[in-house]
Structure 1
Amino acid sequence: MNPWVLIDTVPLPDGRGDIRLIQRADEFSIMLGTIALMNSRLSGSEEAMAGLSWARIKDRPHAHMLIGGLGMGFTLRAALAELPATVKITVAELMPAVVAWGRGPMAAIFDGCLDDPRVDIKLNDVRHVIRSAKGSYDAILLDVDNGPDGLTVETNDALYSMAGLKAAKAALRPGGVLAVWASAPDRAFTQRLQRSGFTVEEERVRANAKRRGARHVIWLATNTPPRPAAPKPKVT
């Protein structure tokens, strides 16, 4: 069997460690210590997030989608395959090295998706992008860290807090959807979404897009407009 080869090492923004890109033949893995954050052979759930999100806003041919976390480009590539040419996709990625990997050693996996005219790459924390937007997006897809149970950057926890979820809700247009990827269920997070005013669905999808293997979780939270108050009866 071919050995793993170290391609690059970059420090996390908060200084809590490094992430490494390693390669074995045509397989890539992004590692945090001994933990594999993602692997090029396990793309099913990230791809499913794009399809599930688009299915809920496909009546909006000029939709604007925000993807938080570039990773190995699986969500972005799947979105581009389904979305029409009139849709705009903004990708917020905190680490420039991840974008460089997509243009360099993993270019074959990304398959040119970073250069698609529908795509705008922002080298920025997705939290800042969300907070600066008010009613700007039809869908926000978050594949940041390990989901609500984060592993890499401590400040990512704020993204999934009540304040973070309310900011995401404010950044969505009415009827827009917030999709959140995670490696495992989290009942407390489901409840936070509901308390934030979202209508919540929870999907379990295979990591490898086949019938076997681990299941990941995708929350689909719709920014349901509040119902208008019932008119008060007239006093006669």
Structure 2
Amino acid sequence: MIPWIELDRAEIPGETATLRLKQRGAEFSIMLGANELMNSRLSGSEEALAELAAEKLAGCAGPRVLIGGLGMGFTLRAALAVLPADARIVVAELVPAVVRWAKGPMADVFQGALDDPRMEISVGDVTQLIAQSKAGFDAILLDVDNGPDGLTRAANDRLYDLAGLARAREALSPKGVLAVWSSGPDDRFTARMKKSGFLTEVKTVRANAKRRGARHVIWLGCR
């Protein structure tokens, strides 16, 4: 069996935790301690995040979309595939090394998505970008952690509490949609979404691109 090789490590701003990029043949993995945050073989639920949000934007001219978390680019690639030619996508990525990995060792995984003129990368905290964007986006797609409870970074909880959801709602256009990815269900977060004024749907999707594997969850909240 081909062994895993550690290619790089990166600190998470404001945290003591370290991300590790590993490779085994053509397969990549991003690890946080013993937890695998993402794997290049498993992209189905991240793609569904973009596809489900895009369905809510049907008929929206020149949609403006914010993606929280670059990761391995699965959500970005799916968004570029389903959104129209006049769409504008901003990807907020907190860890600069993740952008470097995307342009370097994982370039084949991204399949040229970073060269698409419809997208741009903002290196920084997506929470701050949301707070600065009053009605600035038609959709906000969040995949910055393992779900509404921060794993990689405790500060991520600010995205998912009532105050964070209120900021997201203000950053959306009048018919905008908030889409949130999670590795598992969270009834308390569903309740917070509804309490924040979102018309909320909870979707269960498969981790594998062939719609097999673990079951992940996506919340869709419409204004």
TM-score clears 0.5 = yes
Q: What residue in structure 2 maps to residue 107 of structure 1?
A: 107
Choose 1 or 2 for highest CA Rg.
1
The 5 Å alignment of 1:118-137 reads: 118-137=118-137
Percent of pairs with identical residues? 60
Q: Which moved more, 1:115-124 or 1:209-218?
A: 209-218
Q: Is the 8 A contact 1:131 1:167 kept in 2?
A: yes
1:213 CA drift (Å): 1.4
**TM superposition outliers: structure 1 runs of 4+ over 6 Å:** none
Kindly tell me: are residues 106 and 16 of structure 1, through their superposed partners in 2, closer, same or farther at Cα, counting changes over 3 Å? Answer: same
CA distance in 1, matches of 2:55, 2:200: 15
What is the alpha-carbon root mean square deviation over aligned residues?
Answer: 0.8
How big is the shift at 1:209? 2.8
User: Does 89-98 or 205-214 show the bigger shift?
Assistant: 205-214
Does the 8 A contact of 1:14 with 1:154 survive in 2?
no
Aligned residues: 223
Residues 185-215 of structure 1, C-alpha deviation per residue, up to 9 Å, x if partnerless? Answer: 0000000000000000000000003343111
Aligned runs of 1:43-82 on 2, under 5 Å? 43-82=43-82
Is the contact between residue 44 and residue 211 of structure 2 (CA under 8 Å) also seen in structure 1?
Answer: no
5 Å matches for 1:188-227? 188-223=188-223
Q: Indicate the residue corresponding to 1:164 in structure 2.
A: 164
- Residue aligning to 1:19: 19
Q: Is the 8 A contact 1:68 1:91 kept in 2?
A: yes
The match for 1:36 is 36
Ranges in structure 2 where 5+ consecutive residues have no aligned partner: none
Distance 1:105 1:36 in 2: 18
Letter in 2 for 1:105: P
Whole-angstrom distance in 2 between the partners of 1:213 and 1:120: 31
The one-letter code of the counterpart of 1:14 is G
Alpha-carbon distance, 1:56 to partner = 0.5
How many angstroms does 1:137 deviate by?
0.6
TM-score (norm 1): 0.93
Contact map agreement 2:45 2:208 (CA 8 A) in 1: yes
Specify every segment of 5 or more residues in structure 1 that has no aligned partner in the other structure, as ranges. 224-236
Distance (whole Å) between structure 2 residues aligned to residue 50 and residue 188 of structure 1: 23
- Residues in 1 aligned to 2:35 and 2:105: alpha-carbon distance in whole angstroms: 21
Q: TM-score, normalised by structure 2?
A: 0.98
